[in-house]
């Protein structure tokens, strides 16, 4: 054992370049692997902790107080399967104004933040105790134009009067980003809501939270929901209940999305590291052929030779992983910490022993396995040959490419360098794949951002062609609301909508059915595939709904809306972002066919060019207290997330590029060392140092070209997989058809050359400085 | 006077001088080891000069200094009118590719190139177009009677054939000076003799040759002038009559099969 350790230590001291390559690449891979695994395993942890702490509700029912009584609701607490529920809380959606900004807030009566179910955590201030006080959920400026702050005084505007309320507390709201549209929530003390609503005709509702014995999956939640619904009068629900899974997914969607991308990249990073290490060890075995032969002659067994080789790799791999794992864990706190801050929870410890030790061992085992094959080759070293020849059999393959280029008149440095690229085919292949992986991620980085941006830049394609949203409240009629909106000089076009829950056979949850009145096609809506509806009975379905209900273009689907069956033919599929990828959009006449008394309550407004949106919303809101007007935020809210994702992808691509560059560095270093006599000969024949460097660079450029041919298709495949996965999660359909245009390909190839040349730069300089006399003398 | 050597103490400049070393010193390890010590040497156009001496005498260092592969620690080196002392690496590389041809003991052919491609390399480095370089290389291979192996790889050739290829490569740019460093060191005696006869024949056609060898018989048998080095200094410089002269016709008479 002592002899093995001596050999390992001596080799480590001598081969610092290889040591550095293995340590640095394993550091990067271990960091990314730790980060991705931590996110995948623990992305829900902050929310789950908060949910457990709050004894959060599995389902929150939203009910019409005119159709169900508090007593009837109270009776549901003892239904089978219900483990905890209530209390029944009066609630209503009221328009609030704060300066020029206005928007709807769901106001809930609640005596205190505690209780058996759905306990609330105060982030700042105190719970409202007096008249005209309210606590608000911590809002996201990106999701709403009206975000009250602690200490603000804001006006609740109804048809009968205006009430000024002071924000005395800010609360963390587990449902702040649920998939039901995330209307901001606020709480007032018991009895306050009646005062706010006064004599207005705003519909009073109830909010009722439930916990169930079995509520882990959508199917279990659907069964729980049916139990409660069966105990309620028909039509008691104003909208589908909010499930805890939706709340959680809404809160964590960004971390989930980023975690998936990081996971894919970390897998790539590990593969690249395995290839680089295999290449390093293979080169080491060739360079140390004589030493291994001597070692065997001295009495080392083949197993001991394998131990020497793998030991040389294990030490830097351990060093890299020991640094990389904590770095990755530390990076994960950035993502987990953001969620924790929203929920007023301490940032979870970045240390997860299982993950950290698992990555540490996993990376070391991978490196050892990568070293094993060349190590076995070393173990088979022919002692006599090694001692007498002093080196392993040299690669002397015909260079068809080099000959071809020289024949074409290419500069000798280019022709000879290009010809050397595959002199060691196995090593070159390992380098090509390692670099190819880097190029694949580069391709992904260059194509994913623009694909996402295209979706964002074309709001009409995902269901948000409007500039402003207007909600009609109280006793203002549809005709009056429409007149007020169209009378404003800034209004260009109006689409009136009404959204109702639609039950689909075979689906546990109701889907939103949005009936649209007006010239929707002219308004700018476009489906992602198929066409926009043009006749009653036709529908454009949300992609998630279509996927889950197995609907394709041309299919017919029966839905139940308000007790009436409606048969719809799917003519288009859309990225219905406002509805989280769900539901059916239909022409107004389609709804009128089954519910002729329904009227629109939400108006989507397109403004004339040059109209100031803020001024418009303030002007329109001033015309009637029963209009909730706000700027449409669908167009802007995604930009910070897109930028964030782009930064993450950029960082990961850099990591992969560094690993790839390390691979090229290793290959070029080995090649220049092995060909040191050829280089010295060429220098003696008159090749200048610059030409020698160019020769080494040309070799790596050929590798880059081949790697690009491998990497670009892998990158496109990765783009397809990740966009499809994100599509499944968020109901988006990415159009990636035009992502790989000639400019992108040129950029990727330029990037490939940059990575290859960066990796080859130093060995090329060393090669250029080869001391000819010394080398040729030592022949 | 074909050349003048004055033991490193005096340098006589002649109009026909091709190589002029003036008081050249080369030390290693912070001057602890002197490979060359005040060497002055002039070689004129057309000479066949053999540098001779035991191992460690400095003969290879002298050759490397003349080739611009090594830089003198002191003194001045001028070859074919080009001042090598203080020249940049790039300038030295250009000098090597245009003014000298190098024949090595171990041939130093590029194993991944064919014979003709090996010969073409210096021409292409000098900017000759591929077609013209190929024509020149082919002519040289024909002259050296190894045209039949132009598509072969070095490792498939005999030692003699390899050295002929190396000689062809050294000649392709029509250098003013051919430097031969123990050109027979890796060959059996018969083949070595044949290679030396080839160099003789080249010299007969006017090619200046500077040969480094430790073999007295080789130096005196082929060199017209023998410069002896010991401990980095010239200890003797003698012009001699060669024992045998190769006729120009022998260039082609020495077939590849004989080597």
Check: CB of residue B34 under 8 Å from CB of residue B26: yes
pLDDT 10s digits, B20-54:
999 999 998 776 778 899 999 999 999 999 999 88
pLDDT at B257 over 50: no
The structure tokens 């619904």 sit at A229
> Which token pair is A696?
């080494």
**Mind giving me the DSSP string for A505-571?**
TT-SS-EEEEEEES-HHHHT---SEE----STTEEEEEHHHHHHTT--TT-EEEEEETTEEEEEEEE
Chain A hits for B112, Cβ within 8 Å: 395-399, 402, 419-420, 423
**Residue B3's pLDDT band (boundaries 50, 70, 90)?**
very low
| Average pLDDT in chain A | 82
Contact with chain A for residue B153, Cβ under 8 A: yes
Torsion, Cα of A283, A285, A289, A291 (10° steps):
120
| Average pLDDT in chain B | 82
CB spacing of A394 vs B111 below 8 angstroms: yes
Contact with chain B for residue A423, Cβ under 8 A: yes
The whole-angstrom separation of Cα A527 and Cα A570 is 11
* C-alpha distance from B119 to closest chain A C-alpha (Å): 11
Task: Write down the ipTM of this complex.
Answer: 0.80
Most confident of A97-101, A411-415, A701-705, A773-777: A701-705
Chain B hits for A779, Cβ within 8 Å: 104-106, 108
H helix intervals, A631-778: 638-674, 676-684, 689-730, 742-768, 772-777
CB spacing of A396 vs B105 below 8 angstroms: no
Burial tier of B76 (Cβ tally within 10 Å: 0-12, 13-18, 19+): middle
**Mind giving me the DSSP string for A660-701?**
HHHHHHHHHHHHHHHTHHHHHHHHHTT--HHHHHHHHHHHHH
pLDDT at B154 over 80: yes
Question: What is the chain A residue with the closest CA to B100?
Answer: A685
pLDDT at A147 over 50: yes
Quick one: pLDDT at residue A343?
A: 66
Q: Which of the residues B111, B114, B128, B131 would you substitute to probe the A interface, choosing the one with the greatest number of A C-beta atoms within 10 Å?
A: B111
* C-alpha distance from B129 to closest chain A C-alpha (Å): 6
**Residue B233's pLDDT band (boundaries 50, 70, 90)?**
very high
**For B142-159, what is the mean pLDDT?**
89
Write the residue in A406, A690, A779 that is nearest to B130 by C-beta.
Answer: A406
First to last CA, chain B: 36
Lowest mean pLDDT among A265-274, A408-417, A432-441, A457-466: A457-466
**For A327-337, what is the mean pLDDT?**
84
Check: CB of residue A651 under 8 Å from CB of residue A445: no
Contact with chain B for residue A772, Cβ under 8 A: yes
- Among residues B208, B241, B238, B202, the alpha carbon closest in space to that of B45 is found at B208
CB spacing of B111 vs A773 below 8 angstroms: no
Q: Is the pTM of this model over 0.80?
A: no
Between strands A602-607 and A491-504, the pairing is antiparallel
Chain A hits for B97, Cβ within 8 Å: 685-687
DSSP letter for A185, please.
E
Question: What is the chain A residue with the closest CA to B178?
Answer: A685
DSSP letter for A111, please.
S
Chain B hits for A394, Cβ within 8 Å: 111
Quick one: pLDDT at residue B254?
A: 37
Listed by number, the residues of chain A in 691-710 with a beta carbon closer than 8 Å to a beta carbon of chain B are 691
Contact with chain A for residue B127, Cβ under 8 A: no
Question: What is the chain A residue with the closest CA to B106?
Answer: A779
**For A349-354, what is the mean pLDDT?**
82
H helix intervals, A380-424: 383-389, 400-408, 412-420
Quick one: pLDDT at residue A556?
A: 92
Quick one: pLDDT at residue A670?
A: 83
* C-alpha distance from A409 to closest chain B C-alpha (Å): 5
CB spacing of A402 vs B113 below 8 angstroms: yes
Quick one: pLDDT at residue A357?
A: 93
Listed by number, the residues of chain A in 51-70 with a beta carbon closer than 8 Å to a beta carbon of chain B are none
- Among residues A628, A616, A598, the alpha carbon closest in space to that of A516 is found at A598
Contact with chain B for residue A403, Cβ under 8 A: yes
Burial tier of A245 (Cβ tally within 10 Å: 0-12, 13-18, 19+): middle
Lowest mean pLDDT among A21-35, A174-188, A654-668, B217-231: A174-188
* C-alpha distance from B98 to closest chain A C-alpha (Å): 8
* SS3 state of residue A115: coil
Chain B hits for A397, Cβ within 8 Å: 112
Lowest mean pLDDT among A478-482, A513-517, A671-675: A671-675
Residue A476 neighbours by CB under 8 Å, 6+ apart: A159, A624, A626, A627
pLDDT at A101 over 60: yes
Q: How many beta carbons lie within 10 A of that of residue A580, not counting itself?
A: 22
* SS3 state of residue A342: helix
**Residue A248's pLDDT band (boundaries 50, 70, 90)?**
confident
Question: What is the chain A residue with the closest CA to B122?
Answer: A685
pLDDT at A124 over 80: yes
* C-alpha distance from A773 to closest chain B C-alpha (Å): 6
Quick one: pLDDT at residue B251?
A: 40
Chain A hits for B89, Cβ within 8 Å: 688-689
Quick one: pLDDT at residue B7?
A: 32
CB spacing of A779 vs B117 below 8 angstroms: no
Contact with chain B for residue A690, Cβ under 8 A: yes
pLDDT 10s digits, A628-650:
788 777 666 667 777 878 888 88
The whole-angstrom separation of Cα B140 and Cα B147 is 8
Check: CB of residue A83 under 8 Å from CB of residue A195: no
pLDDT at A681 over 60: yes
A409: alpha, beta or left? (left if phi > 0; alpha if psi -120 to 50): left
pLDDT at B244 over 60: no
The whole-angstrom separation of Cα A587 and Cα A497 is 9
Quick one: pLDDT at residue A145?
A: 60
> Which token pair is B143?
């002259």
Check: CB of residue A415 under 8 Å from CB of residue A708: no
Contact with chain B for residue A16, Cβ under 8 A: no
Question: What is the chain A residue with the closest CA to B175?
Answer: A685
Quick one: pLDDT at residue A457?
A: 75
Chain A hits for B98, Cβ within 8 Å: 686
pLDDT 10s digits, A484-518:
999 999 999 999 999 887 888 766 667 889 999 99
**For A307-332, what is the mean pLDDT?**
88
Output A376 or A484, whichever has higher pLDDT.
A484
Quick one: pLDDT at residue A418?
A: 84
CB spacing of A686 vs B153 below 8 angstroms: no
CB spacing of B93 vs A419 below 8 angstroms: no
Check: CB of residue A716 under 8 Å from CB of residue A772: no
Contact with chain A for residue B57, Cβ under 8 A: no
CB spacing of A419 vs B98 below 8 angstroms: no
The whole-angstrom separation of Cα A374 and Cα A312 is 12
**Residue A535's pLDDT band (boundaries 50, 70, 90)?**
very high
**Residue A344's pLDDT band (boundaries 50, 70, 90)?**
low
- Among residues A40, A643, A759, A316, the alpha carbon closest in space to that of A651 is found at A643
Residue A730 phi/psi, 5-degree rounding, is -120, 5
Does residue A270 have a cis bond before it (omega within 30 degrees)?
Answer: no
Residue A602 phi/psi, 5-degree rounding, is -125, 135
Contact with chain B for residue A394, Cβ under 8 A: yes
Quick one: pLDDT at residue A266?
A: 83
Chain A hits for B129, Cβ within 8 Å: 409
Lowest mean pLDDT among A50-54, A379-383, A571-575: A379-383
Write the residue in A394, A397, A684 that is nearest to B69 by C-beta.
Answer: A684
Residue A130 vs residues A92, A180, A186, A263, A732: alpha-carbon distances, Å? 19, 31, 15, 50, 46
The whole-angstrom separation of Cα A549 and Cα A530 is 17
* C-alpha distance from B230 to closest chain A C-alpha (Å): 19
Residue A645 vs residues A335, A338, A441, A640: alpha-carbon distances, Å? 12, 14, 14, 9
Quick one: pLDDT at residue A622?
A: 79
Lowest mean pLDDT among A205-214, A366-375, A532-541: A366-375
Contact with chain A for residue B238, Cβ under 8 A: no
Chain A hits for B180, Cβ within 8 Å: none
- pLDDT exceeding 70 applies to what percent of chain B? 86
Q: Which of the residues B80, B91, B113 would you substitute to probe the A interface, choosing the one with the greatest number of A C-beta atoms within 10 Å?
A: B113
Output A732 or A247, whichever has higher pLDDT.
A247
Quick one: pLDDT at residue A339?
A: 66
Chain B hits for A408, Cβ within 8 Å: 130
* SS3 state of residue A465: coil
**For A676-700, what is the mean pLDDT?**
88
Residue A330 vs residues A45, A350, A352, A762, B145: alpha-carbon distances, Å? 16, 6, 11, 32, 72
Measured at the CA of A431, the angle between CA A425 and CA A434, to 5 degrees, comes to 140
Residue B133 neighbours by CB under 8 Å, 6+ apart: B120, B123, B124, B172
Quick one: pLDDT at residue B259?
A: 37
Write the residue in A409, A681, A690 that is nearest to B108 by C-beta.
Answer: A681
pLDDT at A179 over 90: no
Chain B hits for A776, Cβ within 8 Å: 69, 104, 108
Burial tier of A647 (Cβ tally within 10 Å: 0-12, 13-18, 19+): exposed
Q: Which residues of A325-348 are buried (b: 16+ CB within 10 A; e: fewer)?
A: bbbbbebbbebbbebbebbbbeeb
Quick one: pLDDT at residue A591?
A: 94
CB spacing of A686 vs B89 below 8 angstroms: no
**Mind giving me the DSSP string for A55-97?**
T--SEEEEEETTTS-HHHHHHGGGSTTEEEE---EEEEEEEEE
> Which token pair is B210?
């500077």
**Residue A143's pLDDT band (boundaries 50, 70, 90)?**
low
Q: How many beta carbons lie within 10 A of that of residue B257, not counting itself?
A: 11
* C-alpha distance from B174 to closest chain A C-alpha (Å): 13
Segments of A126-183 assigned E as strands: 133-137, 153-157, 162-172
């Amino acid at each position: 054992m002592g002899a093995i350790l001596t050999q390992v230590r001596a080799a480590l001291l001598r081969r610092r370049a290889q040591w550095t390559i293995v340590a640095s690449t394993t550091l990067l891979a271990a960091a990314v692997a730790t980060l991705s695994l931590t996110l995948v395993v623990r992305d829900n942890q902050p929310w789950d902790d908060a949910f457990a702490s709050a004894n959060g509700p599995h389902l929150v029912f939203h009910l019409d107080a005119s159709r169900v009584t508090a007593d009837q609701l109270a009776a549901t607490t003892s239904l089978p399967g219900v483990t905890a529920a209530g209390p029944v809380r009066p609630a209503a959606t009221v328009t609030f104004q704060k300066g020029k900004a206005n928007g709807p807030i769901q106001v809930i009566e609640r005596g205190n933040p505690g209780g058996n179910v759905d306990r609330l955590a105060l982030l700042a201030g105190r719970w409202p105790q007096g008249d005209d006080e309210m606590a608000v959920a911590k809002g996201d400026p990106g999701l709403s134009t009206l975000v009250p702050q602690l200490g603000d005084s804001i006006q609740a505007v109804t048809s009968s009067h205006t009430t000024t309320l002071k924000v005395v507390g800010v609360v963390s709201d587990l449902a702040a980003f649920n998939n039901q549209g995330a209307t901001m929530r606020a709480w007032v003390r018991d009895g306050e809501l009646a005062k706010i609503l006064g004599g207005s005709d705003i519909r009073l509702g109830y909010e009722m939270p439930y916990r169930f014995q079995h509520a882990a999956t959508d199917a279990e939640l659907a069964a729980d929901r049916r139990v409660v619904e069966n105990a309620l009068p028909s039509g008691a629900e104003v909208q589908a209940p909010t499930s805890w899974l939706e709340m959680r997914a809404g809160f964590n969607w960004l971390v989930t999305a980023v975690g998936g991308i990081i996971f894919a990249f970390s897998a790539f990073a590990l593969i690249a590291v395995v290839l680089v290490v295999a290449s390093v060890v293979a080169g080491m075995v060739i360079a140390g052929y004589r030493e291994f032969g001597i070692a065997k002659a001295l009495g080392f067994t083949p197993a001991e030779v394998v131990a020497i080789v793998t030991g040389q790799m294990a030490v830097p791999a351990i060093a890299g992983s020991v640094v990389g794992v904590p770095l990755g864990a530390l990076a994960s706190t950035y993502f987990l910490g953001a969620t924790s801050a929203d929920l007023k929870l301490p940032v979870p410890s970045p240390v997860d022993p299982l993950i950290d030790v698992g990555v540490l061992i996993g990376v070391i085992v991978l490196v050892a396995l990568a070293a094993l094959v060349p190590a076995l080759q070393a173990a088979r070293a022919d002692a006599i040959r090694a001692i007498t020849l002093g080196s392993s059999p040299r690669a002397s393959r015909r260079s068809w490419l080099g000959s071809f280029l020289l024949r074409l008149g290419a500069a000798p440095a280019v022709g000879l360098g290009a010809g050397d690229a595959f002199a060691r085919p196995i090593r070159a292949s390992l380098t090509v794949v390692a670099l190819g992986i880097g190029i694949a991620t580069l391709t992904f980085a260059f194509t994913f951002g623009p694909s996402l941006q295209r979706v964002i830049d074309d709001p009409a394609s995902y269901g948000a062609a409007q500039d402003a949203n207007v909600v009609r409240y109280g006793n203002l009629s549809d005709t009056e609301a429409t007149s007020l909106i169209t009378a404003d000089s800034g209004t260009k076009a109006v689409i009136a909508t009404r959204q109702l829950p639609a039950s689909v056979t075979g689906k546990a949850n109701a889907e939103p059915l949005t009936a649209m009145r007006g010239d929707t096609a002219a308004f700018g809506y476009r489906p992602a595939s198929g066409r926009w509806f043009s006749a009653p009975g036709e529908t454009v379905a949300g992609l998630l709904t279509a996927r889950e209900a197995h609907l394709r273009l041309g299919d017919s689907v029966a839905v139940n809306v308000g007790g009436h069956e409606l048969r719809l033919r799917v003519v288009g599929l859309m990225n219905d972002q406002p509805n989280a990828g769900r539901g059916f959009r239909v022409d107004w006449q389609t709804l009128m066919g089954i519910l002729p008394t329904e009227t629109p309550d939400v108006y989507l407004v397109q403004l004339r060019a040059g109209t100031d949106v803020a001024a418009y919303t303030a002007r329109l809101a001033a015309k009637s207290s029963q209009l909730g007007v706000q700027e449409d935020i669908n167009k802007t809210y995604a930009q910070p997330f897109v930028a964030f994702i782009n930064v993450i992808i950029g960082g990961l691509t850099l990591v992969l590029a560094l690993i790839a560059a390390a691979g090229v560095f290793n290959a070029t270093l080995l090649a220049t060392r092995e060909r040191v006599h050829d280089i010295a000969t060429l220098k003696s024949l008159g090749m200048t140092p610059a030409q020698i460097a160019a020769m080494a660079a040309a070799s790596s450029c050929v590798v880059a070209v081949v790697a690009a041919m491998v990497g670009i298709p892998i990158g496109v495949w990765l783009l397809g997989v990740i966009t499809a996965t994100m599509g499944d999660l968020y109901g988006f359909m990415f159009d990636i058809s035009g992502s790989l245009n000639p400019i992108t390909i040129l950029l990727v190839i330029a990037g490939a050359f940059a990575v290859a040349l960066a990796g080859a730069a130093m060995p090329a300089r060393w090669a250029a400085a080869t001391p000819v006399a010394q080398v040729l003398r030592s022949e | 006077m074909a050349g003048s050597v004055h033991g490193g103490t005096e340098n006589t400049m002649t109009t026909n001088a091709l190589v002029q070393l003036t008081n050249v010193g080369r030390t290693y390890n912070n001057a602890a080891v002197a490979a060359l010590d005040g060497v002055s040497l002039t070689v004129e156009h057309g000479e066949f000069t053999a540098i001779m001496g035991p191992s460690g005498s400095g003969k290879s260092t002298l050759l490397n200094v003349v080739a611009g592969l090594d830089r003198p620690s002191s003194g001045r080196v001028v070859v074919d009118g080009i001042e090598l002392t203080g020249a940049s690496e790039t300038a030295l590389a250009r000098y090597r590719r245009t003014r000298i041809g190098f024949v090595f003991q171990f041939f130093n052919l590029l194993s991944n190139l064919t014979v003709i491609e090996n010969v073409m390399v210096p021409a292409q480095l000098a900017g000759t177009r591929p077609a013209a370089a190929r024509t020149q290389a082919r002519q040289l291979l024909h002259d050296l009677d190894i045209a039949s192996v132009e598509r072969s790889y070095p490792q498939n050739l005999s030692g003699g054939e390899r050295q002929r290829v190396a000689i062809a490569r050294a000649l392709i740019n029509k250098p003013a000076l051919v430097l031969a460093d123990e050109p027979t060191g890796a060959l059996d005696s018969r083949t070595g003799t044949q290679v030396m006869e080839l160099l003789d024949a080249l010299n007969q056609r006017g090619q200046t040759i500077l040969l480094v060898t430790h073999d007295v018989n080789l130096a005196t048998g082929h060199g017209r002038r023998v410069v002896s080095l010991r401990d980095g200094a010239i200890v003797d410089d003698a012009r001699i009559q060669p024992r045998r002269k190769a006729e120009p016709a022998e260039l082609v008479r020495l077939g590849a099969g004989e080597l």
